[in-house]
Amino acid sequence: DTEVTQTPKHLVMGMTNKKSLKCEQHMGHRAMYWYKQKAKKPPELMFVYSYEKLSINESVPSRFSPECPNSSLLNLHLHALQPEDSALYLCASSLRDSSSYNSPLHFGNGTRLTVT
């Protein structure tokens, strides 16, 4: 069982749709992340939130819009996606995002997104 919960598990959307991915953790972690993973590849970082503030955007297109309503929740709003955006979207959290404190990332099971 993962302690990072993501919904929905699967999502199929058209290129003109607007949808949102949700992530929740109750481990008291103050850093949360969005990753994208293509088949047989390692996860690629998209966004980092530290203490509910966006600290890193890895040059992600604006059709992906993250939101952190509180310390336990992380959303990813999707609009006007392309078929090549189809992938597994993973949420992760860690105790904190600090260069002086090693804290492993805990991943959710992801949302399998298909853009048609």
The CA angle 64-66-70, to the nearest 5 degrees, is 165
> From the CB of 16, what's the least distance to another protein, in Å?
27
Residues that bind another protein (CB under 8 A): 2, 4, 6, 31, 33, 40-43, 45, 48, 56, 88, 90-92, 94, 96-99, 101-110, 112
> From the CB of 93, what's the least distance to another protein, in Å?
10
80: alpha, beta or left, given left = phi > 0 and alpha = psi -120 to 50? left
- Closer to another protein at the Cβ: 62 or 102? 102
**54 close to 47: Cβ distance less than 8 angstroms:** yes
- Closer to another protein at the Cβ: 75 or 80? 75
